[in-house]
Amino acid sequence: MSRVAAVDCGTNSIRLLVSDVSEGTKRDVHREMRVVRLGQGVDRTGRLAPEALARTREALVDYGTTCRDLGVARIRMVATSATRDAENRSDFVAMVEAVLGVQPEVISGGEEAALSFDGATRGLDRELGPFLVADIGGGSTEIVLGTDQVKAARSVDVGCVRLTERRLLDDPPTPEQVAAAEADIDAALELVRADVPVAQRKTFIGLAGSVTTVAALALGLKAYDRDRIHLSRISADDVRRVTGSLLGQTRKQRGRLGPMHPGRNDVIGAGALVLRTLVDRLDVDEVLVSESDILDGIVWSIP
């Protein structure tokens, strides 16, 4: 048995998973998530903001302490969309090495897609495949098709933080702003269709915080409940209903919703819009929601 840790640093959040892994089995010891908004302003400036780096550093200090206290033998940290896009990513890499003692891997959209697919589908009945996995992040969305392994994948630059900063500027957003964001998602979907035979899917799987929050609201949960959300099935009509409600609310109103993480209420409208557009354009009847995602895929990838 080996105790390992995965750190996933995205555009909106940074997450830690500590697991014991042995001969194809995994026992999770500790999960943690912080909203640090590393991608704050990156879409506009092309750079990681000093205050965003400071927030991320604070989280990593705590994660390092947790890993030492839990006796972690190996750590793998990956960074995704915001860091890929940033001119000053070297500042981020140096900060992580100094704080956590490992070099972060700034992975490509294709690598991100493969890790997400593995995390989401490992252990699922293969009769449910081919799977079409949608990982809706802060800066990008990964769409992956496969059954036992990835057959095709595409990463596109539509995510909840990027679309909020680019399009959904009012609170709540205007219909014109929502239409502009939807047009961006449609354009991204054309890129996906060029690379991924989406019609071959049998099961549509949704990942990450935007999807799980929509699921929690669709299920009528009073508080976020990972066990209730994991492998729940949410109808297309429920996705549309929840998305319409979120886009019509102010950030303060969303913040009063029981399952809403306080670091997500300002960007959840855009994330839900990505999910709704995927459901509508791809003729999805229901979404299989998974709490296992890229973080679990990172754990499985550690030798």
Q: pLDDT at position 152, please?
A: 97
Rounded to whole angstroms, the Cα distance separating 287 from 232 reads 8
- The CATH homologous superfamily to which domain 110-294 belongs is Exopolyphosphatase. Domain 2 (3.30.420.150)
CATH code given to domain 2-107: 3.30.420.40
Q: Is the link from the previous residue into 130 a cis peptide, with omega within 30 of 0? A: yes
Give me the mean pLDDT over the 26-38 stretch.
95
Task: State the pLDDT confidence band at 83, using cuts at 50, 70 and 90.
Answer: confident
Rounded to whole angstroms, the Cα distance separating 205 from 267 reads 21
Rounded to whole angstroms, the Cα distance separating 133 from 142 reads 8
Rounded to whole angstroms, the Cα distance separating 165 from 81 reads 15
Across 73-87, 194-208, 236-250, least confident range: 73-87
Q: pLDDT at position 51, please?
A: 96
What's the pTM value of the predicted model, to 2 decimals?
Answer: 0.94
Per-domain residue ranges of the chain: 2-107, 110-294
Q: pLDDT at position 108, please?
A: 87
Q: Is the link from the previous residue into 172 a cis peptide, with omega within 30 of 0? A: yes
Task: State the pLDDT confidence band at 23, using cuts at 50, 70 and 90.
Answer: confident
Rounded to whole angstroms, the Cα distance separating 167 from 176 reads 9
From 151, 149, 145, 147, select the one nearest 127 (Cα to Cα): 147
Give me the mean pLDDT over the 142-147 stretch.
97
Rounded to whole angstroms, the Cα distance separating 297 from 170 reads 36
- Judge whether residue 82 has pLDDT over 80: no
Task: State the pLDDT confidence band at 59, using cuts at 50, 70 and 90.
Answer: very high
pLDDT tens-digit profile of 224-252? 999 999 999 999 999 999 999 999 999 99
Task: State the pLDDT confidence band at 43, using cuts at 50, 70 and 90.
Answer: confident
- Judge whether residue 132 has pLDDT over 80: yes
Task: State the pLDDT confidence band at 84, using cuts at 50, 70 and 90.
Answer: confident
Rounded to whole angstroms, the Cα distance separating 36 from 13 reads 5
Rounded to whole angstroms, the Cα distance separating 161 from 39 reads 8
Using a 10 angstrom Cβ sphere, with 0-12 exposed, 13-18 middle and 19 or more buried, the burial of residue 126 is exposed
- C-alpha gyration radius of the chain: 18
Using a 10 angstrom Cβ sphere, with 0-12 exposed, 13-18 middle and 19 or more buried, the burial of residue 57 is middle
